[in-house]
């Protein structure tokens, strides 16, 4: 099924769905090679391969270089979309600095000084409203906000309340301008409008999008504008909303991308054991997932060919006990295989990962930290350590998911304690998706550990209490 999707002259945009391990990224990589080899063979033809994060683009560049000649690689540009946008705008004399949330917190706090006393919404409400309503719909005036769709928001606002709320957004936008800042969504919109206005023809004959579930409306509107007219083999989009770990939801048709009759699905998991697949799928049981185009997706027919043991879920009284068990497990694998570089320890946050790095290296094990924005060097020795976000797109023989404690998974402050029921539910789904993604990186075994109070996500599974 991968080959049928890859080696075909499609009449327009294609969307390929598939659960973890079904080879979506592999298909996308081979699609890029097939296109430069068989379709766009002129030396001036270019293929853009884009992703949401820099991590994935680094990994994809590495994997593409293994199957493509130097000449092919010269014609395939691999870059995450934010970086492409920054480069394009800089080339065109863009005056703003693009910010991804690092410098906007004080601006939000200042804008909140204008909140009318009768409103009791907290900062999270305004930020969510901004990210889910204002930015996707490119709303720039109070009048537009009065008419805007707020489908999917848990708090209803009448006209009077909208007018009051708008004063905060108006002030925040003014503060962004005052500081010479633009958010990522603004930059994507500005890049698209610049392309429209200049009628600039980019060199790309095709664009391949990996991890499409993490891209938003402005991203796909820009991608459509990069190749403004629908053509044969123009867009190849792969994704899986079960693995959505960033809060972006999109309907491709509303972005000018028509995939009707060109939606395909991969169902065979070639990476994990079926036992791991079942455990991971169980984390998302009963959760409705979209198909990136306004419909729903499911995992019917999704199966793995390999078999092994069920994930080993363990609970410990404290961090020291947990680390002792992890060290014993790593030592066991080292004795059995002679190496631990095919074992990856995954944690929810960078701070937690640093604690494991310190504790495990103190036990005498060599550590290899899989860093943000850098491709993993597969030849380097050492136990791999990565955050749940960074491990996306990678695979290892064995994965240890450590510190799956209540308050960590789901992580406090991500919206799981929001008073808005929709935000609360969606935040919990994203946290479950992170655990799903982490488990499905393993080809052979998964070990899940927690200490103190175990995450409520683990309540559905029987876990063992290790004696002190």
65-110 per-position pLDDT tens digit: 999 999 999 999 999 999 999 999 999 999 999 998 889 989 999 9
Query: What is the structure's pLDDT at 460?
Result: 60
**283: CB partners within 8 A, 6+ apart:** 432, 435, 436, 439, 457
Instruction: Give the distance, in angstroms, between the CA of residue 127 and the centroid of all CA atoms in the same chain.
Output: 20
State the chain's mean pLDDT as an integer: 93
Query: pLDDT confidence of 468, banded at 50, 70, 90?
Result: very low
- If we measure between CA atoms, which residue out of 33, 30, 29, 25 comes closest to residue 72? 33
pLDDT tens for each residue of 229-268: 999 999 999 999 999 987 778 999 999 999 999 999 999 9
Report CA-CA distances (Å) from 108 to 175, 218, 248, 404, 429: 9, 22, 21, 32, 26
Tell me what percent of the residues of the chain surpass a pLDDT of 70.
98
pLDDT tens for each residue of 356-389: 999 999 999 999 999 987 888 889 999 999 999 9
Give just the sign of the alpha carbon dihedral 137, 143, 147, 150: positive
Q: CB of 207 within 8 A of CB of 51? A: no
Query: pLDDT confidence of 467, banded at 50, 70, 90?
Result: very low
Please check the confidence at residue 404 and state whether its pLDDT lies above 70.
yes
Query: pLDDT confidence of 402, banded at 50, 70, 90?
Result: very high
Query: pLDDT confidence of 423, banded at 50, 70, 90?
Result: confident
Where do the domains of the chain lie, and which CATH numbers do they carry? 2-90+197-274 (3.40.50.300), 104-178 (no CATH), 309-465 (3.40.50.300)
Q: How many CA atoms lie within 13 A of 48 on its CB side?
A: 22
Q: pTM here?
A: 0.91
How many Cβ atoms are within 10 Å of 161's Cβ, its own excluded? 15
Q: Give the least confident one: 180-194, 289-303, 306-320.
A: 289-303
**49: CB partners within 8 A, 6+ apart:** 28, 29, 32, 57, 60, 64, 76, 77, 78, 79, 207, 208, 210
The helix (H) or strand (E) run that includes residue 400 is strand 396-401
Tell me what percent of the residues of the chain surpass a pLDDT of 90.
81
Q: CB of 213 within 8 A of CB of 25? A: no
With the CA atoms of 56, 251, 247 and 168 taken in that order, what torsion angle do they form, in degrees rounded to the nearest 10?
Answer: 130
Average pLDDT rounded to a whole number, residues 168-178: 97
């Amino acid at each position: 099924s991968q080959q049928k999707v890859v080696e075909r002259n499609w009449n327009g945009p294609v969307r390929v769905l598939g659960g973890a391990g079904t080879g979506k990224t592999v298909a996308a990589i081979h699609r890029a090679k097939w296109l430069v080899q068989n379709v766009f063979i002129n030396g001036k033809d270019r293929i853009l391969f884009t992703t949401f994060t820099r991590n994935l683009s680094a990994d994809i560049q590495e994997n593409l270089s293994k199957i493509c000649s130097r000449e092919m690689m010269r014609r395939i540009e691999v870059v995450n979309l934010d970086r492409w946008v920054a480069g394009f705008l800089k080339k065109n004399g863009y005056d703003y600095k693009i910010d991804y949330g690092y410098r906007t917190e004080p601006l939000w706090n200042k804008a909140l000084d204008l909140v009318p006393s009768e409103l009791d919404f907290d900062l999270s409400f305004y930020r969510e409203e901004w990210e889910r309503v204002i930015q996707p719909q490119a709303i720039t005036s109070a009048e537009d906000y009065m008419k805007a769709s707020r489908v999917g928001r848990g708090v209803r606002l009448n006209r009077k309340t909208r007018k009051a709320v708008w004063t905060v957004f108006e002030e925040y936008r003014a503060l962004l301008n005052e500081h010479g800042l633009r958010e990522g969504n603004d930059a994507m919109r500005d890049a698209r409008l610049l392309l429209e206005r200049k009628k600039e023809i980019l060199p790309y004959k095709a664009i391949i999008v990996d991890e499409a579930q993490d891209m938003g409306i402005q991203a796909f509107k820009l991608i459509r504008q990069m190749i403004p007219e629908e053509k044969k083999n123009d867009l190849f989009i792969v994704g899986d909303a079960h693995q959505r770990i960033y809060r972006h939801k999109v309907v491709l048709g509303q972005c000018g991308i028509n995939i009707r009759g060109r939606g395909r699905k991969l169902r065979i998991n070639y990476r994990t054991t079926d036992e791991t697949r079942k455990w991971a799928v169980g984390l998302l049981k009963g959760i409705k997932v979209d198909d990136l185009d306004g419909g729903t997706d499911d995992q019917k027919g999704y199966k793995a060919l390999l078999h092994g043991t069920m994930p080993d879920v363990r609970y410990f009284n404290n961090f020291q006990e947990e680390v002792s068990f992890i060290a014993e497990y790593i030592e066991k694998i080292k004795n059995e295989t002679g190496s631990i570089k095919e074992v990856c320890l995954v944690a929810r946050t960078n701070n937690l990962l640093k604690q494991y790095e310190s504790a495990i290296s103190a036990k005498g094990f060599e550590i290899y930290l899989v860093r943000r924005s850098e491709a993993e060097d597969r030849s380097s020795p050492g136990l791999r350590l990565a955050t749940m976000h960074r491990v996306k797109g990678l695979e290892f023989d064995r994965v240890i998911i450590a510190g799956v404690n209540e308050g960590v998974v789901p992580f406090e402050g991500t919206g799981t304690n929001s008073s808005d029921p929709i935000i609360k539910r969606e935040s919990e789904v994203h946290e479950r998706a992170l655990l799903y993604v982490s488990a499905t990186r393993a080809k052979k075994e998964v070990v899940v550990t927690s200490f103190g109070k175990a995450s409520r996500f683990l309540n559905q599974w029987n876990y063992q209490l290790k004696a002190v």
